[in-house]
Structure 1
Amino acid sequence: MARSTPSTRERIQEVALEMFARQGVQRTSLQDIANRLGITKPALYYHFSSRDDLVRSIVNPLIQEGEELVARHEQRDPVVVSELLEDYFDFHYRHREKLMLVLTELRILGEIESIDAALDWRRRLVGLVFGPEPTLDQAARAIMAFGGIQDCCLQLPDAPHQRLRTAAVDAALTVLGAAA
């Protein structure tokens, strides 16, 4: 099935994400985005009340999807670590551009309170792999495994998806050791 033409709202988000990634959020005005789209600033304000509102509209669905991923695995008994890592990889690979925005604009995103849930994911992911009270060694291994998957998706964007997925998940399983 062919993808429908993006709505004006979706086009604004796409252009904003591209401009934010290239110039930074603070150096990208709503007027810049409107000009790039060939629309008026009032037309942009019809869809988004502020730059923060626009940033939230890009980041919050990402945060929500990540929350759903973690919650889905929290419902599984037992947790299959390899499946958790594969899903975590797929999430990060699919959202590489948005995640780069999050990482490069942490200060701004913290100000709009979108990042708090994402920061809690790591704690919950560690708990899924090693239980509610992991040792320091276990917590470090899990943080390295999940952080490594994220970094592979962001730092190796031209690698073929399946090859990168296999390499990243295998490496994460190795770091986790016996838990996997």
Structure 2
Amino acid sequence: MQHESGARDRARDTKAEIHRAALELFSSRGYEKTSLREIAEQVGITKASLYYHYSSKQDLLQAIIGTFFDDIKSVFAQVGEQPWSPDRERELLAAYLDVVIKHRSTGPTVLRDITAVLAAFDDQLDDLIAQSRAFQLWLAGPDPTPTDRVLAAAAVEVVGAVLSTGLDESDVSDAELKAILLDAAGAVLSRKTN
């Protein structure tokens, strides 16, 4: 039993190493220009070993970006659980920001290779877009005006700045980044008419 547990731990570590190497290479070289062989070499495994974990480069991209999408969807799912209130608005915006910060290393890959990301998640995009719009509508508050809806969308975009700053934790800590962007998004939302 202990041998099986150790093997599973090593497999999880290998997957994490594969994710890190793939993100680094996808971010610096681009998805299309990165080969599975290069990812395997960076991790220090054979290409056959990499295929044991992922059947294709698109499968690897789905695994990496998919965890980000799953975490975002878990925040979106909270929208229907409680009615809107200023406190609840800030809590959900903070939860959304936590997810984006957690996955900030994924940002350059998403932004650089949006076509590959869209292709990898084509069957899920309509649902993700609908959930994102429902989240924005909820952030707009009860009986929102068109201005409120624009401000809610802008607040979500402020949070998305995490992905496009090019800053990592050595530049700005997660806590600092959260405080800055939560205040900025809150300032945008404070202009709502309701």
TM-score w.r.t. structure 1 length?
A: 0.85
Distance 2:22 2:74 in 1: 25
Spell out the pairing of 1:16-165 with structure 2 (5 A cutoff).
16-79=22-85, 80-113=88-121, 116=125, 117-130=127-140, 134-152=144-162, 154-155=164-165, 156-157=167-168, 158-165=171-178
Alpha carbons 1:89, 1:153 under 8 Å: kept: no
Once the 2 structures are TM-superposed, how far is the Cα of residue 120 of structure 1 from its aligned partner?
3.3
Alpha carbons 1:15, 1:33 under 8 Å: kept: yes
Counterpart of 1:76 in structure 2: which amino acid?
Answer: Q
Alpha carbons 1:93, 1:154 under 8 Å: kept: no
SS at match of 1:25: coil
Distance 1:7 1:152 in 2: 26
Counterpart position of 2:5 = none
Over the aligned positions, Cα root-mean-square deviation in angstroms equals: 2.4
Once the 2 structures are TM-superposed, how far is the Cα of residue 106 of structure 1 from its aligned partner?
1.0
Distance 1:15 1:53 in 2: 15
Distance 1:102 1:137 in 2: 29
Once the 2 structures are TM-superposed, how far is the Cα of residue 138 of structure 1 from its aligned partner?
1.6
Q: What are structure 2's unaligned runs of at least 5 residues?
A: 1-8
Alpha carbons 2:97, 2:159 under 8 Å: kept: yes
How far does the alpha carbon of each residue in 1:28-67 deviate from its partner, in whole angstroms, 9 at most, with x for none?
0011111222222111111111100010110111111110
Over 3 Å counting, the alpha-carbon distance change for 1:125 and 1:42 in structure 2 is same
Q: What are structure 1's unaligned runs of at least 5 residues?
A: none
Distance 1:137 1:37 in 2: 49
Instruction: Indicate yes or no: 2:184 matched with 1:175.
Output: no
Distance 1:12 1:23 in 2: 16
Distance 1:90 1:149 in 2: 10
Distance 1:59 1:132 in 2: 32
SS at match of 2:82: coil
Distance 2:41 2:177 in 1: 38
Alpha carbons 2:100, 2:162 under 8 Å: kept: no
SS at match of 2:190: helix
Alpha carbons 2:84, 2:142 under 8 Å: kept: no
TM-score w.r.t. structure 2 length?
A: 0.80
